[in-house]
Structure 1
Amino acid sequence: MQSHETNWIEYFSSGGHRDVVPLAAGMEGAVYRLGQGLVGKVWGQREAAELKRLQEFYADISAAGLSFATPQILEVREVEGTSVTIERELAGRPLKQFVGDGVPPEADAAVVEVLRGLASVPATAAMHQLAVLDESTPLWEGAGSWAAALNGLLRRRVDVFGDQLRSAVADFDGVFNQVAELVSRQADRPQSVVHGDVCLENILVDDDLRLTALLDFGFLSGAGDPAWDASITAGIVDMYGPHAREVDDRLTHRMAREFGYPVELLLGYRAAYGIAAANAYDPHGADGHFAWCAAVLRREDVREALGAIAV
């Protein structure tokens, strides 16, 4: 977890930025407002070469002319072994600040608008060059299709973390085989840019809940099936709240209506996310995210969806 440090405030100030203000700090890094529409981000783990690929990725999204803003990296620096980026500041406040517990239906519009916009951005070469989760190799390296790329990721995760999932999920290997079969059938689905972590904290809106920006690409971002993004979003928008399952069901069926994605595909992709991301934050599987992913793999509706597609 990155934290704010006085020396970084001094670093940005020495570069001519007055009144540097700490904005946020998390798993990826710490962000500082620099003024004049700029922010500086001090990254915890990422190397400069990886961030330059992310810079190209962002540039391709920006060139698509979406109705909402997305990040732009203006400069990548390396400061005493730490990567630093200078980026455009995005306007708005996180949607999470407006909704409290649960996700009221009036907030759905911003979520749908984000996904519709992302699905309209065709995949580019730069989008195929990003790694996901804690991997250093691009997701698409050696893969000739979306199905091959995603199934490769799932197999790699199971090779490392499979025993933990087997302990938490009955007949895990059977479920994994069904997920792999579902994914294999999606080889020819159209590709677009994928965010992979569209949640209320990452959607910025104005005071009237109008969408202004989307931030924090990188967790599962790249090129892929837009239905994968929709599935993940419906599940994680409200992961732990008292109305989480109600919100999940509502958004899953709304995604199906809005975009024409089969509900079975959305639920099957949810299982794929459960396998891929279970150990994203704790390699030992002792955190709430692992428990949530394991619960997804045990869900009756998910199991039924996988069974229906396997027929």
Structure 2
Amino acid sequence: MGNFDKNKNHILRKLEINDDELLGKGVESYVYAYGKNQVVRILKQGDLNYLESLRKLQILISKSNLSVKTPLITKIEEINGTFYIFEERFSGKNLSKIFDKFSDNQKEKIMLSYFDLLGDVIKVNVKEFDFGQIGLTKDKISSNRWSDFVCKKVKQKTDQVISQLGKDVEDFRGRLDLFNNLATTKLRGVDKKLVHGDYFYDNIMVNERAEITGILDFSGWTTVVGDFRLDICGSIIFLEHSQLFIEFQKLLTERAKDRYGNGIEYYIDFYRLYYSLFLSDSFLYLKPLYDWCVKNLNNGELWKRVQR
């Protein structure tokens, strides 16, 4: 048992939390129910400076009059270097856990609302920040240009698995150079908007009345100041990671075209490649996700479309 697992068990015993109160776990943390109205999030990484910067971001978002709830840290604690935080518990459940209960009409309504919520996220005023990450993470990158951030972040992430990508992706270095050139030319004049960065179906909460009650997981690692079209792309392409949602990709693509014009399809393709590069370090922690990245990076038709 590693130090994190030992510390996690210590925290659970201290708070008298049982294993069956686990609400979810991911790359960054484990989340447990705590009492009737709170959750405890035990972080795999992070320090006090990061958590304080995250809390400042959460306060900024909470004061921006979004139509649903967003996370807000109420207390920060630490045991032997492992930090855990307390947050208000949202009503409802993660979408995938409740989706099958709804009628076809309700499902379509939820998916359109899920997409339309991105119009709320971009209302948060982030003009004072540089492009890039806001939270004080160890991997923080920021810049005065969005395209510069994108290229630097892709390099940071792919460098961790560069030898594996060289084996698995045809002409990887050539395609990486092409991506960087496209980023420089296609990402000019981007306005500063808050970008969730990990906007997918299980980062929203839904109640029994088919109403979205909250958005989860604004994070120092993925939430950035940048191009709102990154979230548009994520909201659509990540649907293919579940058979529950893949059929709604066409619906949301049409919604995106109605809202932002036909040109949005180009950026859905472009940011699919960005996410495939950004998440390529998943070779180290989640092989199915890495395989998805490689599949996209080896898609010759996709590369042809982004060069048009």
Q: Which range, TM-score by smaller chain? A: 0.7 to 0.9
Match of 1:130 in 2: 134
CA, structure 1 residues 271+28, in 2 after alignment: closer, same or farther (shift >3 Å)? same
Tell me how far apart the structure 2 counterparts of residues 262 and 145 of structure 1 sit (CA, whole Å): 20
Match of 2:283 in 1: 282
8 Å contact kept, 2:127–2:192: no
1:170 is displaced (CA, Å) by 1.9
Match of 1:95 in 2: 95
1:187 is displaced (CA, Å) by 3.5
Tell me how far apart the structure 1 counterparts of residues 90 and 129 of structure 2 sit (CA, whole Å): 22
Q: In proportion to residue count, which structure has more helix? A: 2
Any idea what the Cα deviations from partners look like across 1:201-246, whole Å, max 9, x if unmatched?
11111112211101122241121111011112211123253874x5
CA, structure 1 residues 156+30, in 2 after alignment: closer, same or farther (shift >3 Å)? closer
Bigger shift: residues 299-308 or 146-155:
299-308
Q: Which amino acid aligns with 2:253?
A: T
1:106 is displaced (CA, Å) by 3.8
8 Å contact kept, 1:61–1:121: yes
Bigger shift: residues 291-300 or 118-127:
118-127
Any idea what the Cα deviations from partners look like across 1:82-116, whole Å, max 9, x if unmatched?
1111111122111112335xx95443213212212
1:11 is displaced (CA, Å) by 1.9
CA, structure 1 residues 26+268, in 2 after alignment: closer, same or farther (shift >3 Å)? closer
1:47 is displaced (CA, Å) by 1.6
Match of 2:295 in 1: 295
Asked if 1:68 is matched to 2:68, the reply is yes
Report matched runs for 1:35-184 at 5 Å: 35=35, 37-100=37-100, 105-123=108-126, 125=128, 130=134, 136-140=138-142, 143-184=143-184
1:36 is displaced (CA, Å) by 5.3
Tell me how far apart the structure 2 counterparts of residues 242 and 75 of structure 1 sit (CA, whole Å): 36
Question: Helix, strand or coil for the counterpart of 1:198?
Answer: coil
1:301 is displaced (CA, Å) by 4.5
Between the two proteins, the alignment pairs up a number of residues equal to 295
8 Å contact kept, 1:148–1:187: no
Question: Helix, strand or coil for the counterpart of 1:238?
Answer: helix
Match of 2:236 in 1: 234
Taking only the aligned residue pairs, the percentage that are identical comes to 20
1:35 is displaced (CA, Å) by 2.6
8 Å contact kept, 2:54–2:135: no
Bigger shift: residues 62-71 or 29-38:
29-38
Question: Helix, strand or coil for the counterpart of 1:70?
Answer: coil
Question: Helix, strand or coil for the counterpart of 2:134?
Answer: coil
CA, structure 1 residues 181+252, in 2 after alignment: closer, same or farther (shift >3 Å)? farther
1:293 is displaced (CA, Å) by 0.8
Tell me how far apart the structure 1 counterparts of residues 10 and 183 of structure 2 sit (CA, whole Å): 47
Match of 1:206 in 2: 207
Q: Which amino acid aligns with 1:190?
A: D
User: Which of 264, 269, 272 is the equivalent residue of 2:271?
Assistant: 269
1:149 is displaced (CA, Å) by 0.9
CA, structure 1 residues 144+183, in 2 after alignment: closer, same or farther (shift >3 Å)? same
Tell me how far apart the structure 2 counterparts of residues 11 and 187 of structure 1 sit (CA, whole Å): 51
1:275 is displaced (CA, Å) by 0.8
CA, structure 1 residues 249+175, in 2 after alignment: closer, same or farther (shift >3 Å)? farther
8 Å contact kept, 1:178–1:306: no
CA, structure 1 residues 41+277, in 2 after alignment: closer, same or farther (shift >3 Å)? same
CA, structure 1 residues 237+217, in 2 after alignment: closer, same or farther (shift >3 Å)? farther
4+ runs deviating over 6 angstroms? 1-4
Match of 2:30 in 1: 30
Task: State the Cα RMSD in Å.
Answer: 3.0
Bigger shift: residues 57-66 or 295-304:
295-304
1:249 is displaced (CA, Å) by 4.5
TM-score between the two structures when normalised by the length of structure 1: 0.83
Q: Which amino acid aligns with 1:275?
A: L
Match of 1:217 in 2: 218
8 Å contact kept, 1:70–1:215: yes
